[in-house]
Amino acid sequence: MREIHTWVDRETAVTAITVSTPFPVGPVNMYLLEKEGSVVLIDAAVDSDEAWNVLLEALQQRGLTIESIHAIFLTHHHVDHVGLVNRVVTRHPVPVYVHPRSIPRLLRDPAYLEGRLRFFEKLYERMGCGELGANYVKRLWKGVHSKDKIRLDGVDLRPVEEGETIPELSKLELYYVPGHAVDHLMAWDRETGWLFGGDLLLPHISSNALVEPDERTWRRMKTVCQYRESMLRCAPLPVKRIFPGHGSVFTDHASLIDHRIQRIDQKAERLRQWLLKAPKTPMELCEIMYPSKLKAEFPLVASEVMGLLDYLDDKGQIEWKEADGTYIYHAKEKKLLC
């Protein structure tokens, strides 16, 4: 799949570039933002010849070249959003603006990667995942030092946070919106009302709130809670158009946020109802909730269930204990109130 579309509002132009990925999520978007005399590439899709050629084609349609790009801004570190960075900066060195917590992830820092894998090793053991969890961790260990993984060595990574600005686009407002990723930023253009949302809010599918460790403490982050709070922060903004990481450009973000939050609460209530019947391990809940997807999509299923359990725990709806190294959850009688 390859699509190029351009939107223009006064002195601002955005070109959406959609390319295929090898991942279940399907096609991914990157954007050329022309504003304030600068050209900034927002996200960088996957590292493929197709993606590279479509980027060049989009630049040509706008009368631009790779050398016209002044900077790159990454909404988050996931591989389907950073793929072409090395190709661009090898030909034309430009600064790459990222959240500070992107940096060890983009550099594939060995200490961070090994700490992360130890975290998942312990988490899956405590969830009661057994052989399924152990086999997945073995696969992760094999990839720690793989040369096939994208590593942004030699790239001018510049940390930027909410409240700061990208020098090349001083009018673009940055918001820190963790949940899908710990380093997730979105960028809002107040003049046009256009929002570059990364994977915070997708029009056709719900974004995964992936459970991850906080690399500062190695404790589990409550990512469903973070994701829900990030959407609620986004809802009141007077956004006229959202340019998402995946799917079509869309409007009426507030209604979609309401729907996404309702779905989170509905799934959480289903878990609570199962726990009212009898205490269960997280793995038992995975088997009940997604019996047909568990083996094929193990890390996503485990992440969703653990994130929902953390959300219920944060709301005081459930309790847990550890027995023989495994988490056991049970529900309180009080209904989930949101």
Q: Provide the 3-class DSSP secondary structure of residue 233.
A: helix
Geometric angle at alpha carbon 89, from 85 and 95, rounded to 5°: 90
Q: Answer yes or no: is pLDDT of 147 > 80.
A: no
Locate tokens 């709806």: which residue?
317
pLDDT of residue 334: 60
φ/ψ region of 139 (left if φ > 0, alpha if ψ in -120 to 50, else beta) reads alpha
Cβ atoms of residues 14 and 194 within 8 Å: yes
Rg (CA), the chain: 21
Q: Summarize the confidence of residues 79-97 as an average pLDDT.
A: 97
Percent of the chain predicted with pLDDT > 70: 97
Beta-bridged to residue 295, according to DSSP, are none
pLDDT of residue 338: 47
- pTM, two decimal places: 0.94
The pLDDT confidence band at residue 73, using thresholds 50, 70 and 90, is very high
Locate tokens 């053991």: which residue?
125
pLDDT of residue 323: 95
Closest residue by Cα to residue 254 from 227, 222, 232: 232
φ/ψ region of 198 (left if φ > 0, alpha if ψ in -120 to 50, else beta) reads left
Cβ atoms of residues 307 and 285 within 8 Å: no
Choices 3.10.129.10, 3.60.15.10, 3.40.140.10, 3.30.465.10: CATH for 2-108+149-251: 3.60.15.10
The Cα 315–Cα 310 span in angstroms is 9
Query: What are the tens digits of pLDDT across the range 259-317?
Result: 999 999 999 999 999 999 999 999 999 999 999 999 999 999 999 999 999 999 999 99
pLDDT of residue 335: 57
The pLDDT confidence band at residue 333, using thresholds 50, 70 and 90, is confident
Query: What average pLDDT does the structure give for the chain?
Result: 95
Q: Answer yes or no: is pLDDT of 145 > 90.
A: no
pLDDT of residue 148: 66
Q: Give the residue extent of every domain in the chain.
A: 2-108+149-251
The Cα 305–Cα 121 span in angstroms is 17
Q: Provide the 3-class DSSP secondary structure of residue 333.
A: coil
Backbone angles phi, psi at 320, to 5 degrees: -145, 160
At 32, the amino acid letter reads: L
